[in-house]
Every structure is written in C-alpha cells, then in structure tokens.
Amino acid sequence: MKKTGSKIRKLIAVGILLITLLLLLFVFSATKSALDLWERLQDLPAPLFYAYSGLILAGLLFSVYFIIKLLRPAPLQDDFETKEVTQKTVVEELEHAEKTGMETSEFRRELEELQQRKESGTIYVALFGDISTGKSSIIKALIPGIHKRDDSLDINVQGGSTRDINQYVWQSRSGDQLVLTDLPGRNEADGSLNQMARDEAVRAQIVIYVTDSDLSRSQFNDILQLQSFGKPLIVALNKSDRFSDEEKGLIEQRFFEHFSKQENDSKKSHKLDIKLVFVQSGGEEEVVKIYPDGHEEKIIRERKADVSALAEVLQDEIDNQSDVLETLRDASVFVLVKQKLDSAKDNFRQEKAEAIVKSSTRKAVLGALASVSPGSDLVIQGVLGTQMVKSLCQLYNVPVKQLDIDKFLNFSSNQMKKSIPLILAVAGNGMKAFPGIGTVTGGLTHAVAYGLIFDALGHAVIKTLQERGKLKAAPAAITFKEMLSENLEARAKLFAKLVFDNQKK
C-alpha cells in the first residue's frame, strides 16, 4: 500500500512539472510573438500603426466586456412587469377588455368626466369629516349666497345628515372657480370611508378634512388614507374658539409630531403635504342665561363664523401649485380607473376562464366517448389541450408560443404518469354511483378520467396566469399535479354524471 501511494505521488509530481514546463513554454512563445509583432508594428506608417493597434485594443475590450456580461448574475425579474399608468396605457387596456367582450362603459364615463373637468378649468375641492364636525356649515361660511349644484342636501348642523355627494360652486377672491364637494365621513358611512367618497377624493385636486377636536386614531387613519392619494391636504380644526392660543399651539405641535413620526416610520422620501388651520364654522349654540333674580333660561344664539384661515390656505395652494394640481389629479384618476378595471377584469376573466375550462373538459369527455378506442392512452396533448391553453392565454392577454404550450403539456404528461392508475380507479369508482352503467369499464371510465385531467389542466393554467402573468411550463405542470389530486371523489362523480347523462341520450 505504501509503495502504491509513493508511485501516485511521484506521478502527480511529474505531472505538475510537465504542466509547469508547458506553461513556461507558452509564456516564452507568446512573449516572443508579442515582441516580434511590436517590432513589426514600429516599422509601419503611423496611420497603419494606430489603425492596427486600435483594432487589437477594440478586440480585447470587446472580449473583456463579453466575459463580464457572461459571468455577471442575471438580475431577478418579477413575473409581472410594472408599467407607468398613463391615459394611453389605460385606454389600451380598455380597448383590449372590450375586445374580450367586457362591459367598459363605466370606465369610459370616468375618463369623459375627467376630460370635462379639465376643459372647464374648474378646481375641485373635496371635504371630508366625521358626523356633525361642520363640513356643510364651513361651506356655507366660505360661500356667501351659496349656490348648490345639487338640491338634495339640507344643511343641518345638529343632525349631521350628509350622506350623498353634494357640490357647491365658489369663486375665490382671486377669481378662481372652485367646486366644493361635501362628502360623507366615516361615521356617516358605516364606520369607514366608503368607495363613493374615496373615488371623489381621487377626482379632486385638493382635499380638506374637517374635525372638531384633537385627532382620534380613526381620524388619523382617515387622513393618512386621504394623503396617500397624493393631493394637497388641509386639516381644518373646527370650533376652535374653545381653545386658547396656547392650547392651539400644543395641538399644532402634537399634530405635526404624529405625522412626522409616520413619515419616518414609512421611510418616505418626500415630505407629507399636510397643513393645519383653525376655523369656526358658525351655526348655533345653546347657552344658559342667568338673570339678576337667580332664575336661568336656555337660549339659542348665533356663533360667529371665521373661516378666513382656511380660505387663505386654500388660495395659497391654488396659487403655489397651480401647475401640478391638474397633473396630480389626472394621474390619480388614471390609477383609479385602472384599479377598478383590474378588479372588473379579474371577475370577468374568472367567469370566462371557468367557461372555457368547462367547455373544453366537456369536449374532451364526449370526444373520449365517441372514440373507437377511447382512452387508449391518457397523454395530455392534441388539439383540445392546445386550444384550451391558447384560449386562456388570449383571455389573460398573455402572448404564448406553440413551443411553450407543447413544453407545458409534455411536463404535465410527465407529472401525470404516476397518477394514472389512481385516476382510473377513482373514475371507475365514480361510475358505480350510477346504476346501469356503474359496472361498465373501458371507454366510459377513460372518459371520466379525461374529464378529471382536463379540468385540472385548465385550472392549473388559470392559476399560473393569475399569479405569474405568463405561462411558465414547469410551475404550471407542478400546479396541475397538485390540482389533479384535489377533491378527486367529488369531481369524479361530477364527470361520471356527465357521462351518464350523455349515455341516457
């Protein structure tokens, strides 16, 4: 054993020596060639020398670049590409949705409303606030001789009855035409900002949030939600005559401390565009008058309105941000339309996709019944499988090549092979639930098996397209295998019923 080990070490040593000699020989040879080439280059005319040297240098640089690019790890890519939401992209998505048969009139109207607002040059301001915080009274104080665009609202300070969207036209001191929109607040909409109110905040260029006390947790969350729409946001603290100047200073300090902390916690790179103003909306208040003889009397008296601070800040926002107000509004409306369209598309696609899978599965089952030798093999391939995958990809607006489909079907076939005995057994068991044909095997059993396979195949494609935005063969095939074994008994009886009904006909 020792002699054998010694021989191996000697062979390794000889090998290392030979490799070293060969390497030195190569270095000497390469050095000699390089020196010879350099001497010859020196004899060339200057233009040829620089041209030839440039070609050599370019070749070396290209090789280095190619090697670096080849060895650099490929960047991770999301399955879904994030595209900027613009009017063009939204319109393109609408057009594609219409081609698939989807109803899009609601989204078209949203874009038309946006265009009308842009053409009018009017600035839209949305007012939010909890019940009885004084939104309607603030609007009344801002607009002497108020002109209401919608006659459905009766201003009621005590009752807090605002539940519909109501709009009021106002011309500011600088001549700007504004529409103030009075929106239902949290307590007026079952404890949360409802969809109607959120949508109008998106359509507005400036948002005002009205409160009559220091902020509660729910109000703080409402303001954060409104601020996320990317609009200038003004918080108006109503009934401010109850606070002294010192108390107002403390309220203001706590207010901005809260939002500064939120900004730091969320690691936002931009400053929160929120302003706080103190207002008094007026209205009426109940007071107790004590007479000299000691008796008391409750009387109702008018409270003096003072909304000048709000009007001033509102005008400053218009003057200082006039160039971006419309841009911010347009961008948020496009996002709103896309979000609603995406939600509607999800529902529409789910229904259509289920119909495609159901139709394809039925054709597969009936085709197996009509075949001379049905189910001779259960390899998933052919016209029906390909057509189902193509239809689903077209529905989800996913480009797909025949090569991708073939690859997916082949992967799925490999995933299924071990499951064929189980599928056939379950299919045969499902047939036993129907007297008269329950003991028949062969074509009927294989027809049920085809139903199970095509149903799982279609739903695997749907899930992959929804989660990844493209048809990826390997993950989709794994999903197919998982879905193939889900609820086998119940699904087998469902397709057995289809076979039974067809046999009866």
pLDDT given at position 391:
92
User: Are 373 and 488 found together in one domain?
Assistant: yes
User: Are 314 and 362 found together in one domain?
Assistant: no
* pTM given for the model: 0.59
Low-confidence ranges of the chain (pLDDT < 50): 1-2, 73-81, 147-148, 150-162, 189, 267-271, 372-380, 438-439
Per-residue model confidence as pLDDT tens digits over 57-100: 787 787 777 677 655 644 434 444 456 788 888 898 898 888 88
Residue 505 and residue 499: Cα distance in Å, rounded? Answer: 10
Would 389 be classed as within a structural domain? yes
Per-residue model confidence as pLDDT tens digits over 192-212: 566 777 888 888 889 999 888
Residue 261 and residue 482: Cα distance in Å, rounded? Answer: 46
User: Are 165 and 295 found together in one domain?
Assistant: yes
pLDDT given at position 154:
37
Per the CB < 8 A criterion, the answer to whether 94 and 341 are in contact is: yes
User: Are 198 and 266 found together in one domain?
Assistant: yes
User: Are 213 and 354 found together in one domain?
Assistant: no
β-strand pairing of 274-278 with 284-290: unpaired
pLDDT given at position 428:
64
User: Are 243 and 387 found together in one domain?
Assistant: no
User: Are 127 and 249 found together in one domain?
Assistant: yes
User: Are 60 and 167 found together in one domain?
Assistant: no
pLDDT given at position 257:
81
Longest dimension (CA), the chain: 130
- CATH number of the domain at 307, please: 3.40.50.300
Q: How many domains does the chain have?
A: 3
Q: Residue 323's CB: how many other CB atoms inside 10 A?
A: 7
Per-residue model confidence as pLDDT tens digits over 16-48: 888 888 888 877 777 877 777 777 777 777 777
Domain range enclosing 352: 348-504
pLDDT given at position 351:
92
User: Are 246 and 172 found together in one domain?
Assistant: yes
Would 13 be classed as within a structural domain? no
User: Are 237 and 277 found together in one domain?
Assistant: yes
In 3-state terms, what secondary structure has residue 207?
strand
pLDDT given at position 164:
64
Order of strands, sheet of 206-211, starting from the edge strand that comes earlier in the sequence: 147-148, 166-171, 177-182, 123-129, 206-211, 233-237, 274-278
Residue 314 and residue 437: Cα distance in Å, rounded? Answer: 79
